[in-house]
Amino acid sequence: MTLEAYADTIVPGQKRFADDRAIAGVSTGGGAVQAGALELLQWDATGIHEGLDDLVRLVNEHALAYAAERRLTPDPTVPPFVALDYPDRAALIQRLTTPGHPEKEFWVLLSLFCNMAFDSAAHLNTAQAMEDGHPGLEAMGLSMPDADGLWRFQDYSYRREFARLHPDTTSTGSPA
Amino acid sequence: MSTTAERTDVLVIGSGFGGAIAAYHLAAGGADVTVLERGPWLESKEFEHDYKLGSSYTRAFDFTVGDGMSILGGNCVGGGSVVYFAAMPRAPRFVFDRQGSIGRRMWPQAVSRDTLDPWYDRVEESLSVTRQDWNDVSYAGGLWAAACNHAGRTANPLAVAIDNTKCVNCNWMMAGCRFEAKQSLLVNYLPAAIAHGARIRPLHEVQHLSRTPEGSYRVHYNVVHDDDYRLQAGSGVIEAKIVVMAAGAGATPVILQRSEAHLGTMPRAVGRYFSGNGERLNTAIIDEAKAAELFGLDRGDGLAYAANQIGKGPTVASWDRLDGSLPEFSRYSLEQLYFPPGLGTILAQVPGATGPSWFGKEKKEILKQWTSWLTIFTMIEDDNEGVFGPPPATGNAHRISQQMLGRGNLRYEPTKNTLGAWAASDAEVKEILEKDGLAKVMPWTNDLVGAYTVHPLSSCRMGDDPHTSALDDSNELRDHPGIFVTDGSSVPGALTVNPAMTIAALAERAMPGIVRAAQSRGISVTYGAPAPDGSTSGRSRVLPLLPSARG
């Protein structure tokens, strides 16, 4: 649940069910969680799969400290990071990923893979993910590939002369 | 170990521009050539349109995170040429007079635009570099050109090594070109080298060099697992009379650092003066209605632009600031670029964000406008600030993911010169693209993985001053005769344009000297091979400059 909340802070989505606590619900459509962030993070190909338990523990410790600092009273029925409202989750991640934070590299790595689940579905074959309506690729507006799973664009250019060339251009198209 | 080591005349480390060009000329001249390449050997049919970890997209390159600088480099047979975007401009004339922070010319006196031009000619011939026209320019390039013109600037379709008759504008160049339109080294120098007997061994990652009592070199390598590069599948040693290092600017100095215990003291400049080619990216979110209104843009289907996914990397650049009369650190080019999802999208920032700028609710909203993104790549003059720390246990990085992602020991702390040049170029991109409300622009953040380069340079650079250059003007490693470096690490500094053309031209330029060195070590080899396809026009212009190489 903590990892889901973290992923949802990176790319937020809408709640999956009414009392969904992990997802803050600040955005419409699927976010990193719906895009498969947990599946990607837990895949050994990423290299961070073995450290996830430690990251969960650490981010909850940071959440407790953050809550204490802000005089918040976290709901004890969910992990401390999950108990934070979205703006506080985001503020904590900003703090953890700021240059100079001793754990910055871990949190950047975790954030990177959460984002990749959404923006490139790095755990899925892309053509299949498109066909299955992957929420990230769909939201970004990627077009469908051809039947063989490859992309081709017959129309790709305005075919217009838009600007003067730089006067110091060689005959082969380089700076003089 | 010496009794069991294999032998070859010339051992080439890496198969990118520096390695492939050396392998071809030496093999064509009659030398016994072996190439060790740390990445896999992928054929065209294996180049996939797939972002999944383990596809050719992640097998073919490495993304190495350092302290203040991350490097994206090739990791396959063909090296950077397989993942590059085939932009092949020559470096502007003023680049060769740069001083950087050392206060005197950083390039060797023997190298200038005039002396390099014949070698540029040769590369243009070998890689079929052509000047694009406006019909070849992608929608993104067209939009960038229109914006430049609107803001009173010029704009140039780029010289590229692409066969447009085969290009389908899929924009998957970073996963390798499935259609063999991109003129990577897999379709010219490497097959020609193989035809002349060169042997290429993929998944062989060189760890260090040592010396034999006779003055030859032993090259120690690990075999890397085919799918999971974190695993090793053996090791070995090859003995060679000449070593050509072309592992890339993120790896060549690391191999040499690790070799110091065996070869003796390395030149001071090994692993110093790294340059990221002054690179930086800005993401513009285009207002589609404004694009239609201001420039009359129309894709024929009611869309003005929304074409971020379509095309072939950079197609148009603005060179108005490539003016040699301007002071150093104020000259740069601004180039339209396609950058695929998965690697840099996270670094794009939300213009005018009220909350976090690189993640979160507002970031998701601009991700929904991804097709209307226009990415501008700036290449300024940086200050060669990068320094490599102690080498990792193996390779050039501690590998994190099965492919693609690793942690290296490069430290890069930008100076005021670099920061000022980035700020000036950012401001100009903003001025051009935000004029009359065309777009909202923000540069990528450096806060997450530092600055980001796809063109690492200068970590083992050539020059005349032994204190600030690791190589002499023949690309030979100082105090270590018989070791030559021909990759991007030999380029003395940032070029203000894409560097593949200059790396290749410098490698071509180094070849007569490397052949002479090989001859002096008893290798039966001559210089004088034509371009890989047999063309000789470049050769006819080159050879008169090199009377000593004609015999």
CB contact under 8 A, A176 and B363: no
Q: Do A164 and B50 touch (CB under 8 A)?
A: no
pLDDT digits (tens, 9 = 90+) for B38-62: 999 999 999 999 999 999 999 999 9
Q: Give the strand pairing for B333-337 and B387-388.
A: unpaired
B360 and A10 within 8 Å at the Cβ level: the answer is yes
> Is residue B378 a contact partner of residue B282, using CB atoms and an 8 Å limit?
yes
Output the pLDDT for position B537: 65
When scoring A107, A153, A154 by the number of chain B Cβ atoms within 10 A, the one with the most, hence best to mutate, is A153
pLDDT in tens, A70-89: 999 999 999 999 999 999 99
pLDDT in tens, B80-111: 999 999 999 999 999 999 999 888 999 999 99
What's the pLDDT score for residue B103? 87
Nearest to A157 among B138, B146, B370 (CB): B138
d(CA B521, CA B180): 38
Report the C-alpha gap between A97 and A79 in whole angstroms.
Answer: 21
If we measure between CA atoms, which residue out of B95, B60, B97, B63 comes closest to residue B79?
A: B60
Closest CA relative to residue A22, chosen from A94, A87, A78: A78
Q: pTM for the complete prediction?
A: 0.96
Using CA coordinates, name the residue in chain B closest to A95.
B356
Question: A142 vs B309: CB contact, 8 Å cut-off?
Answer: yes
Distance of CA B107 to the CA centre of its chain: 19
pLDDT at B343: 84
Q: Which two tokens stand for residue B195?
A: 């035809």
B105 touches chain A (CB under 8 A): no
Question: Using CB atoms and an 8 Å cut-off, which of residues 21-50 of chain A contact chain B?
Answer: 26-27, 31, 43-48
Query: Tell me, what's the pLDDT at B102?
Result: 86
B52 min Cα distance to partner chain A (Å): 4
| pLDDT value, residue B539 | 55
Confirm if B36 and B204 have CB atoms less than 8 A apart.
yes
CB contact under 8 A, A143 and B309: yes
Q: Which residues of B touch A171 (CB under 8 A)?
A: 131
Is B355 in contact with A121 (Cβ distance < 8 A)?
Answer: no
Q: Which of A83, A93, A174 is nearest to B91 (CA)?
A: A174
Q: Which of B148, B319, B400 sits opposite A47 (nearest CB)?
A: B400
Backbone angle region of A47, left / alpha / beta, with phi > 0 → left and psi within -120 to 50 → alpha: left
Whether B253 has a pLDDT exceeding 70, the answer reads yes
CA–CA dist B305, B147 (Å, integer): 13
ipTM over 0.95: yes
Phi, psi of B131 (to 5 degrees): -80, 120
What is the C-alpha to C-alpha distance for residues B423 and B363, in angstroms, rounded to an integer? 23
| pLDDT tens track for B458-511 | 999 999 999 999 999 999 999 999 999 999 999 999 999 999 999 999 999 999
Per-residue pLDDT at B259: 98
Find residues 378-417 of chain B whose CB sits inside 8 Å of chain A. 399-403, 405, 407
What is the pLDDT, as a whole number, of residue B2?
44
**A173: chain B residues, CB-CB within 8 Å:** 89, 130-132, 156-159
Residue B4 pLDDT more than 70? no
Return mean pLDDT, chain B: 95
Residues in B touching A55 (Cβ below 8 Å) = none
Give the nearest partner residue to B367 out of A140, A153, A161, using CB atoms: A140
Is residue B533 very low, low, confident or very high in pLDDT (cuts 50, 70, 90)?
confident
Would you list the DSSP string of B452-504?
A: EESS-B-TT-B-S-TTT-SB-TTSBBTT-TTEEE-SGGGS-S--SS-SHHHHH
Q: Quick check: B258 pLDDT over 50?
A: yes
What gap in Å lies between CA A21 and CA A84, rounded to an integer?
10
Nearest to B356 among A94, A126, A175 (CB): A94
Q: Within an 8 Å CB–CB cutoff, is residue B164 touching chain A?
A: no
Which residues in chain B touch residue A175, judged by CB atoms under 8 angstroms apart?
A: 89-93, 319, 322, 497
Q: How sure is the predictor about B535, in pLDDT bands with cuts at 50, 70 and 90?
A: confident
pLDDT band at B551 (very low <50, low <70, confident <90, very high): very low
Looking at the predicted structure, is the pLDDT value of residue B550 above 50? no
Residue B541, pLDDT score: 52
- Is pLDDT above 50 for B128? yes
Residues B150-205 pLDDT 10s: 999 999 999 999 999 999 999 999 999 999 999 999 999 999 999 999 999 999 99
> Which of B22, B310, B212, B462 lies closest to A145 in space, CA to CA?
B310
Which pLDDT belongs to residue B5? 76
Whether the per-residue pLDDT at B548 is higher than 70: the answer is no
Give residue B543's pLDDT. Answer: 52
